[in-house]
Structures are given as C-alpha cells and as structure tokens.
C-alpha cells in the first residue's frame, strides 16, 4: 500500500529497528568490572577508615563500609536493598530486549551495572550473605563517600530524566502510536 507514488505507508516495509541489548549489557559489564576492580584494590591496599588525599581539598580516597543506601540511609534494611537491586536488575534486563534507543540502552546499562556492583557487595561481603556492607571510597567536599557503582546510578538517573523530559521513547514507536499486530 502506498500513500503517494513511491512512498510506503509508515511502518510497512521499513526495516526493523536494531535491538540494543548488547549495548545495555556491554555498558553494564564495563561499569561492573570498573566498580569491582576499584573495590578489590581499595580493600587490598587500605584499612577501613583510612583516608588518602589525591587532590588536596578536592578528592580523597576514604575507605568505608555502608550498610544502608545512598547517604547511609536505612542501615537496618540491607536485605530490602538487596531485594530491590535484584528486582531492578530483572526489570532492566527484560526491558533491554525491546529497546532500540541507543541513549536509553547506555542509560539502562549504567543503572544495571551500578545496581549489580552494589548487589555483589550485598551478596558476598561481610557481615553476612545478603547483608553485606557496600565498599565506598570516593570522597568529595561536602558530599558523602560513594563508589563507581553509585556514580553510574546517579549518572544513569540524570540521563533517564533528561531523556524522559525530552520525550525520547525507549523504542522506535512514536509515543502515541499503537504497536503493529504481528502476523
């Protein structure tokens, strides 16, 4: 069917949009690896509570353990945070299968990698499985200590808000369009 001579009806005959699952998983893997390597290095070379100045007055390495969420909120709810991280990871992986937007793929990859980085700590670090304390080590002036996973989550969250406010959809359909029936 044609709308005018030589032009196809929208959606008919268009090649399918590429899926971005690989971008999500690749981004998440890079974030997870960087986070785990940095935490292993900190734990292996520093004592908990030790501080090292990197850039005087700007950046310090301050090795701490965090039983709570961001800003040490909810230190008694470690199991809850573990469950939330698992649910978030599952939702992102499921959504990744339908994703065609490259920017959303990078954004969800940052969120997934960050969630997995902190989840690994919660699952495997002391004091107990599913109750592990997250290794935090980056200290900026007037800001709580954090890690690379936290950074990825915050950056991913900011990008998600920007993409959503600009109306950029997760997939290639227009925001108000109906999905096409499958034959």
For residue range 61-99, list pLDDT tens digits in order.
Answer: 999 998 877 666 667 677 787 888 899 999 999 988 888
Beta strands per DSSP E along 90-173? 134-139
Among 136, 171, 172, 176, the one annotated catalytic: 136
More confident residue, 183 or 43: 43
Q: For the chain, what is the domain count? A: 1
Rounded Cα gap, residues 25 and 51, in angstroms? 34
Residue 151 belongs to domain spanning: 44-165
CB count, 10 Å around CB of 137?
Answer: 23
Which of the given ranges, 127-131, 144-148, 178-182, has the highest pLDDT on average?
144-148
Rounded Cα gap, residues 145 and 135, in angstroms? 10
Does residue 179 belong to any structural domain of this protein? no
CB count, 10 Å around CB of 43?
Answer: 15
Does residue 62 belong to any structural domain of this protein? yes
Does residue 36 belong to any structural domain of this protein? no
Among 150, 171, 172, 176, the one annotated catalytic: 150
172 catalytic per annotation: no
14 catalytic per annotation: no
Rounded Cα gap, residues 51 and 60, in angstroms? 7
pLDDT reading at 19 higher than 50: yes
pLDDT 10s digits, 107-140: 999 999 999 999 999 999 998 888 889 999 999 9
| Predicted local distance difference test score (pLDDT) of residue 152 | 97
Does residue 5 belong to any structural domain of this protein? no
pLDDT reading at 177 higher than 50: no
More confident residue, 9 or 99: 99
pTM over 0.95: no
pLDDT band at 153 (very low <50, low <70, confident <90, very high): very high
Whether the CA torsion 35, 38, 43, 48 is positive or negative: it is negative
Does residue 133 belong to any structural domain of this protein? yes
| Predicted local distance difference test score (pLDDT) of residue 84 | 86
Does residue 20 belong to any structural domain of this protein? no
Q: Is 60 exposed, middle or buried (0-12, 13-18, 19+ CB in 10 A)?
A: middle
pLDDT reading at 5 higher than 60: no
Please give the DSSP secondary-structure letter assigned to residue 148: H
Does residue 27 belong to any structural domain of this protein? no
| Predicted local distance difference test score (pLDDT) of residue 74 | 65
Q: Supply 130's token pair.
A: 């599913």
Does residue 9 belong to any structural domain of this protein? no
| Predicted local distance difference test score (pLDDT) of residue 183 | 44
Rounded Cα gap, residues 26 and 31, in angstroms? 9
Average pLDDT over residues 22-29: 96
Rounded Cα gap, residues 32 and 27, in angstroms? 9
């Amino acid at each position: 069917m044609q709308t005018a001579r030589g032009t196809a009806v929208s959606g008919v005959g268009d090649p399918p949009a590429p899926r971005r699952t690989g971008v999500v998983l690749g981004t998440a893997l890079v974030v997870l690896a960087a986070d785990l390597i940095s935490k292993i290095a900190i734990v292996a070379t520093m004592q908990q509570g030790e501080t090292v100045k990197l850039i005087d007055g700007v950046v310090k390495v301050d090795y701490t353990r965090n039983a709570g969420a961001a800003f040490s909120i909810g230190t008694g709810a470690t199991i809850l945070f573990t469950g939330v991280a698992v649910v978030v990871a599952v939702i992102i992986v499921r959504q990744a299968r339908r994703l065609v937007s490259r920017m959303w793929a990078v954004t969800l990859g940052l969120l997934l990698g960050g969630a997995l980085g902190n989840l690994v700590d919660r699952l495997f670090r002391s004091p107990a499985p599913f109750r592990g304390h997250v290794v935090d080590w980056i200290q900026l002036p007037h800001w709580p200590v954090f890690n690379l996973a936290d950074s990825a989550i915050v950056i991913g969250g900011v990008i998600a808000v920007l993409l959503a406010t600009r109306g950029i959809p997760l997939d290639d359909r227009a925001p108000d369009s109906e999905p096409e029936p499958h034959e």
